[in-house]
Structure 1
Amino acid sequence: MRIDEQPRQRWVDQQPRTRWVDQSAFASRRPDLRLGTRSHRLDAAGGTAVDRIAVQHTVRTGTAEYSLLLNAPSWLGRRGVGEALADAVAELRAVDLTYGPTRPDSLVSRLRRGEISPESYAPLADLVDRCAAMRAATDGWFDAWAVPGGFDPSGLLGGWAVERAAARLRAAGIHDYAVLTGADLVVRGHAPHGGPWRVAVHHPTDPRRAPLALEMTAGAVGTSGVTGRRGHVVDPHTGEPADQLDAATVIGPDLAVADAYATALYAAGPAGLAWFRNGSDYRALFAHRRR
């Protein structure tokens, strides 16, 4: 089932950053980005403005594949754009190496063993604080401490990595970009054709359904449940694998938060829809009940 269906042309949040568009809008203009069941796809839609440099790059770390699409100002030059891209890729690799909970020598693993405290490293403290905030926001359904082996931030670590890489791009002067990993993405600014990023969000489990059509200039889409591994999300209240939903997709301003909400919604099932009421900046796009 699709949750929180919105009327066409209604803004998803109070800022004109993400809006629903008619499916017919994609008939003549292909989407720039497609989020599918198990992976994303990039469509070369439209041209590139004469004063911009468009770059597309894909990188694989030890745990994920990321695609970066940059619509950079020409004053940076190709060398400057290349350096900015390399810096963002280095951040993605660094997060995987430094914070991956499956790596015995990572900061997260050392924290789990009691060898260091969160305050030992500022980014680690930020990661722990974000997990604590999401535990509170989801009534304990996202709980990085209620997993086998102790603290495990995997439910928002990928989104956190993307947001940190995106911050590197902005620091270098690139404010128009898209970063994708799996069924998750962050966008900012405009696509190379000069308009908002056109995003087709396909249903996470039913490819026969028409995709949701979005135009975005800022925002993130986070999805849980499409890895193909049942039992990868644990009900923090029982310790058993979550079994209510096949997939959950959440949209909002920050990918780490959207990822955590999607993970929690996947675990909580329909009861988690209450988190997205009362003016929340985050919305549930899909919450597909398991058959």
Structure 2
Amino acid sequence: MRVSEHVMGTVFSLDVRATAPDVAARAAADAFALLREAEARFSPFLADSELRRFERGECAPSSDLHEVLAIAERASAASGGAFDVRAPDGSLDTNGVVKGWAAQRAADALAAAGCGAFCLNAGGDVVTRGVPEPGRGWRTGVRDPHDPRRMLAVVELGDGAVATSGVYERGSHVWDGRTGRPATGLLAATVVAEDLTTADVLATSVLALGPDGVAWALDHGARDAFGVRPDGRLVTAARAAPSPGA
């Protein structure tokens, strides 16, 4: 079963395999409902969202908002302040956390509902479970920021997630929290991780940190990571080998 919907400012698509059609349909409807709810509650563009009402002091943070802000605080501390949900104008913008967090929650709901294998694509950020067919994982292409017709890499996943953060489509919308200025060291950063919450936050952090962020990500939950400099050169890093006897 395949279904897609425009939500959270992008297109989410879902491909479910190895699942009874009625189970898949109900699970998909519930998953997309979770995504629409997250958009309504945490959008920085809706004046009556929970995020904006909290910012104005009109409500206490719900457990979900508290969780989102806690994820952001941990990422900020780990990145030395480069990751920041406080925009340069002082307003809260949790988009660097919420899309991956909401998509991961939707994926967890799909798995709990009995979906045996699926791929949830959140506007290019992907979370998967199982495999589409025996002997082959889910394949996600990572595009060249200089040429949308060319793929820099193809990531094959079973259970896992991949996220890319870049400035090549929306311009300089990611800032370095240490300076309050747009992040310019990389055009794009891609992270593979166990879950999409982690992959998405790490990808944004790498973009904010610049080239040094690629190696940093491997020490903070990434299975793999790479970046693209403005001149097109790739930035990669190898995970440090364990010391003898470790």
The equivalent of 1:86 in structure 2 is 29
Q: CA offsets, 1:195-226, max 9 Å, x none?
A: 32233333343457554233311111111115
Task: For structure 1, list consecutive stretches of 5 or more residues without a partner in the other structure.
Answer: 1-54
Aligned residues: 231
Residue 103 of structure 2: SS of its match in structure 1? helix
What is the identity, as a one-letter code, of the residue corresponding to 1:242? A
| 2:34 and 2:102 in contact (8 A); partners too | yes
Give me the TM-score of the superposition, normalised by structure 1: 0.73
Structure of higher RCO (CA pairs closer than 8 Å, 6+ residues apart): 1
Residue 245 of structure 1: SS of its match in structure 2? coil
Which structure has the highest strand share of the two? 2
Question: Over aligned residues, Cα RMSD in angstroms?
Answer: 2.1
Matches within 5 A, 1:250-261: 250-261=191-202
**2:175 pairs with 1:229:** no
| Cα distance in structure 2, aligned partners of 1:213 and 1:234 | 27
**2:221 pairs with 1:281:** yes
**2:54 pairs with 1:111:** yes
The equivalent of 1:97 in structure 2 is 40
Residue 270 of structure 1: SS of its match in structure 2? coil
What is the identity, as a one-letter code, of the residue corresponding to 2:186? L
| 2:160 and 2:194 in contact (8 A); partners too | yes
| 1:203 and 1:286 in contact (8 A); partners too | no
What is the identity, as a one-letter code, of the residue corresponding to 1:286? F
Shift of the 213–124 alpha-carbon distance from structure 1 to 2, 3 Å rule, reads same
| 1:137 and 1:275 in contact (8 A); partners too | no
**2:14 pairs with 1:68:** yes
Deviation at 1:99, TM superposition (A): 1.2
Please, which of 128, 131, 137 is the counterpart of residue 69 of structure 2?
128
Matches within 5 A, 1:125-274: 125-192=66-133, 195-207=136-148, 211-226=152-167, 228-274=169-215
| Cα distance in structure 1, aligned partners of 2:163 and 2:28 | 23
Shift of the 232–160 alpha-carbon distance from structure 1 to 2, 3 Å rule, reads same
Shift of the 216–258 alpha-carbon distance from structure 1 to 2, 3 Å rule, reads same
| 1:196 and 1:217 in contact (8 A); partners too | yes
**Structure 1 segments of 4 or more deviating over 6 A?**
none
Give the percent of matched residue pairs that are identical in Structure 1 and Structure 2.
38
Q: CA offsets, 1:75-110, max 9 Å, x none?
A: xxx322211111011111111111111111111111
The equivalent of 2:3 in structure 1 is 57
Residue 187 of structure 1: SS of its match in structure 2? strand
